[in-house]
């Protein structure tokens, strides 16, 4: 393990990781490497917050659900730090149009009054379903979704669950009757594509927690909003494009604005409501 700088506030501390789906394997390494923070898995019935197989409907937004899970893990373990992840896929009301999936991570530090969520929209997801046709070949679908490394859920024509977490060809063949529906099992430990996305997001959370607020020194300084209004290069009127990034602290509400990383200072007249209405 590399040396963790002594000023990292979470060095050697444990954070409750509310999980049923083996996400610790993806989440823990980036947090340990960067911060010395130990993700401590706690068994919590996270299905009370909604499941991927649709048996319980979701009521909160993804960040709210992830924060609630983190708090449930803290309550179950008595730890004052909590972590949780939440994923949503396909045509879901939380998702921007056309997105494949969104992963969200939440971090709670009760003593500092810190609550942080980070999210990543991904078009790269294996989320898909397939209705078995009479005499049809399911092999192309299986190849596309990465079976058997990625598991499947099988439902009958009425929508009743016949199997979850299927990764065995013989077991799948026995259920691949015409009319039955095959769906990708989106639980993280059965889905290497999700595990990779969660690992990358945990790296972003670690970087964020390693950055102190310039005003109050709390961990978690970073992007909280975008300022729009990049001026048109022809008429200088504001457009909908991002002009600056707003960094913030979730503990003291200090804000600072910095220019775009790509140093673009003007928008194309094609995106201007005045030049190109």
Per residue, the 3-state secondary structure of 178-207, as one string, reads CCCEEEECCCHHHCHHHHHHHHHHHHHHHH
Nearer to Zn ion, 12 or 113 (CB): 113
Considering the rule CB under 5 A, would residue 254 count as an interface residue with Zn ion? yes
Q: Provide, rounded to whole angstroms, the least separation between the CB of residue 257 and Zn ion.
A: 15
Considering the rule CB under 5 A, would residue 249 count as an interface residue with Zn ion? yes
Instruction: Please give the sequence-ordered ranges of beta strands (E in DSSP) within the chain, or none if there are none.
Output: 14-18, 38-42, 81-89, 101-109, 114-122, 129-131, 152-155, 161-166, 181-184, 222-228, 242-248, 255-259
Considering the rule CB under 5 A, would residue 274 count as an interface residue with Zn ion? yes
Q: Provide, rounded to whole angstroms, the least separation between the CB of residue 90 and Zn ion.
A: 37
What's the CA gap between 181 and 168, in Å, rounded? 16
Q: Provide, rounded to whole angstroms, the least separation between the CB of residue 181 and Zn ion.
A: 49
Q: Per-residue x/- mask for Zn ion, residues 206 to 245, rule CB under 5 A?
A: -------x-xx-x-------------x-xx----------
Residues 6+ positions from 277 with CB-CB distance below 8 Å: none
Question: Do 50 and 72 contact (CB within 8 A), yes or no?
Answer: no
Nearer to Zn ion, 152 or 213 (CB): 213
Site for Zn ion in 102-141 (CB under 5 A): none
Site for Zn ion in 60-99 (CB under 5 A): none
What's the CA gap between 140 and 158, in Å, rounded? 24
Q: Provide, rounded to whole angstroms, the least separation between the CB of residue 252 and Zn ion.
A: 3
Q: Provide, rounded to whole angstroms, the least separation between the CB of residue 258 and Zn ion.
A: 16
Q: Provide, rounded to whole angstroms, the least separation between the CB of residue 209 and Zn ion.
A: 13
Considering the rule CB under 5 A, would residue 255 count as an interface residue with Zn ion? no
Nearer to Zn ion, 43 or 270 (CB): 270
Binding footprint of Zn ion, residue count (CB under 5 A) = 15
- Record the tokens describing residue 244, joined without a space: 């600056």
Nearer to Zn ion, 51 or 268 (CB): 268
Please identify which residue in 75, 76, 200, 275 interacts with Zn ion, judged by CB under 5 A.
Answer: 275
φ/ψ region of 26 (left if φ > 0, alpha if ψ in -120 to 50, else beta) reads alpha
What's the CA gap between 92 and 115, in Å, rounded? 25
3-class secondary structure, 72: helix
**Residue 97 burial by CB count (10 A; 0-12/13-18/19+): exposed, middle or buried?**
exposed
**Binding-site ranges for Zn ion (CB under 5 A):** 213, 215-216, 218, 232, 234-235, 249, 251-252, 254, 269, 272, 274-275
């Amino acid at each position: 393990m590399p040396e963790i700088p002594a000023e990292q506030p979470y060095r050697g501390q444990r954070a409750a990781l509310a999980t049923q789906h083996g996400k610790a394997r993806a989440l823990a390494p980036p947090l340990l490497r960067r911060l010395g923070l130990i993700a401590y898995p706690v068994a919590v019935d996270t299905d009370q917050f909604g499941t991927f197989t649709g048996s319980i409907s979701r009521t909160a937004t993804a960040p709210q659900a992830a924060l609630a899970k983190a708090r449930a893990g803290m309550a179950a373990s008595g730890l004052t730090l909590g972590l949780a992840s939440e994923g949503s896929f396909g045509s879901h009301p939380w998702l921007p149009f056309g997105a494949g999936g969104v992963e969200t991570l939440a971090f709670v530090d009760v003593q500092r009054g810190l609550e942080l969520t980070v999210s990543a929209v991904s078009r790269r997801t294996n989320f898909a379903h397939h209705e078995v046709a009479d005499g049809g070949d399911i092999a192309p679908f299986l190849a596309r979704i990465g079976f058997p490394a990625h598991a499947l859920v099988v439902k009958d024509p009425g929508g009743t669950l016949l199997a979850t977490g299927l990764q065995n060809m013989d077991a799948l063949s026995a259920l691949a009757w015409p009319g039955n529906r095959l769906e990708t099992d989106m639980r993280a430990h059965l889905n290497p594509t999700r595990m990779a996305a969660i690992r990358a997001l945990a790296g972003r959370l670690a970087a964020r927690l390693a950055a102190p607020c310039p005003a109050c020194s709390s961990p978690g300084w970073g992007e909280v909003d975008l300022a729009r209004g990049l001026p048109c290069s022809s008429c200088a009127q504001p457009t909908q494009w991002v002009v600056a990034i707003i960094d913030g602290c979730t503990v003291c509400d200090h804000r600072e604005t910095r220019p775009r990383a790509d140093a673009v200072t003007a928008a194309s007249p094609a995106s201007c409501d005045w030049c190109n209405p």
